[in-house]
Amino acid sequence: MIVRILGEGKFEFPESELAKLEALDDMMVKAIESSDEEAFQNALNALIEKVRQEGKPADIENLDPSDLAIPHEGSTLSEVKELLEEGSS
């Protein structure tokens, strides 16, 4: 599975760790829905750290599309909400 951290690059992420990644993603989505900036930052940081720890940087020539895109480190809740709104229109 290919996971992209925006502004950082692609990582090859093991399918065996997907459930953990999805749980962190769910936490981030709930934080976005409840407009909880602190919970959002905690979930985003945990998600990014998980990808960095368990994934390995993808070859720069890998042109496979990303299966999952994660906001860049330091993204704010309002920035991510705006990106999601743009993506749904």
CB–CB of 65/10 below 8 Å?
A: no
| Sheet containing 9-12: order of strands | 56-57, 9-12, 2-5, 68-70
Q: Check pLDDT > 90 for residue 16.
A: yes
Copy the structure tokens of residue 18: 């997907």
pTM of the model: 0.88
Copy the structure tokens of residue 75: 């993204």
- Residue 40 sits in which domain range? 2-88
CB–CB of 25/47 below 8 Å?
A: yes
Which pLDDT value is given to residue 64? Answer: 84
Q: With the C-alpha atoms ordered 34, 38, 41, 42, is the resulting torsion angle positive or negative?
A: negative
Q: Check pLDDT > 70 for residue 88.
A: no
Task: Report the number of distinct structural domains present in the chain.
Answer: 1
Q: Check pLDDT > 70 for residue 89.
A: no
